[in-house]
Structure 1
């Protein structure tokens, strides 16, 4: 069998599985299920990008403004590493003791946690807040990360709601199809008497 003849066969099988063929045996419930599935899929493909752009964009802008405001209250100075502690096994940080001078020439000493390897006597750039305390450096990825997490959660929640709604609909339609199947075979048995044999009783 060539690819040219195999391709239409694959298309026909796919259409038959999703209910797009013209099979006269398909019930109204089958067409309703297909229509709901197509509608929910289309709605999800429309809502998900719009939600990501609108909600995600607003969250990113808000968090970015907060990060810029926090960064404006910080400043950097050069500090000298006095001693280095032992890095814990559960976190990729190196505790250290650092010392620096402020603009007035006063000496300050404080604990510092670095994400890399430090040696005593080395010079590091540290961030200080308005009160002169060692602070965490401003994050350049916090706004994007928070927007991504919240948007992903909302999209997942919508997908779950759509999936649960479709599952409930399909369950109800399956029950209705089963009742119709039983009623139709009861009619056939009355018409044929003992000559009719149900497929599930063969």
Structure 2
């Protein structure tokens, strides 16, 4: 029972590994490998830059929130039209800024990958058309 579960997990891992391109498949064309390398490189760049961008965004939003909290506690004007800023508001705004920073910092990398993919698809299509045309010429003769 334990061995069959382990075998299923290994098989699932191998399927995932092959699907993600980590194999030595001889049928992969050069354009496929280049697209895979470009995607992997962009993913790694995103994983390196996203935490830094997120940390800067969260730190700035948090610092501004703390300043606003302190300014409101010093301000004793007696106005009740606006609810005073709480620390919970500051933390919530910081978390929201972090989520937005993670999403937005990935957009340039996604855009570049989509351009690479589109060009790779065009190159693949031209290669297929050329190969089919050559096959048609051979069979027509």
Q: Which residue of 2 aligns with 1:190?
A: 137
Q: Which residue of 2 aligns with 1:63?
A: 65
What is the CA distance between 1:71 and its match in structure 2?
0.9
Match of 1:73 among 67, 71, 75: 75
Q: Which residue of 1 aligns with 2:80?
A: 134
Residues 12, 188 of structure 1: alpha-carbon distance in 2 compared, 3 angstrom cutoff = farther
Distance in 2 between residues matched to 1:22 and 1:41, nearest whole Å: 21
Residues 5, 50 of structure 1: alpha-carbon distance in 2 compared, 3 angstrom cutoff = same
Higher strand share: 1
Match of 1:26 among 25, 28, 41: 28
Match of 1:172 among 87, 95, 119: 119
Structure 2 segments unaligned to the other structure (5+ residues): none
Structure 1 counterpart SS, 2:57: helix
After superposition, what is the alpha-carbon deviation per residue over 1:136-156, rounded to whole angstroms, capped at 9, x for unaligned? 334222322333333332322
Distance in 2 between residues matched to 1:70 and 1:157, nearest whole Å: 31
Whether the 8 Å contact between 1:19 and 1:30 is mirrored in structure 2 is no
Matched residue count: 138
CA RMSD of aligned residues (A): 2.5
What is the CA distance between 1:10 and its match in structure 2?
2.5
TM-score w.r.t. the length of structure 2 is 0.79
Q: Which residue of 2 aligns with 1:77?
A: none
Higher helix share: 2
Distance in 2 between residues matched to 1:5 and 1:152, nearest whole Å: 38
Whether the 8 Å contact between 2:62 and 2:91 is mirrored in structure 1 is yes
Larger radius of gyration: 1
Q: How does 1:1-202 map to 2 (within 5 A)?
A: 2-74=4-76, 129=77, 132-134=78-80, 136-191=83-138, 193-194=139-140
Greater RCO between the two (CA within 8 Å, min separation 6)?
2
TM-score w.r.t. the length of structure 1 is 0.58
Structure 2 counterpart SS, 1:2: helix
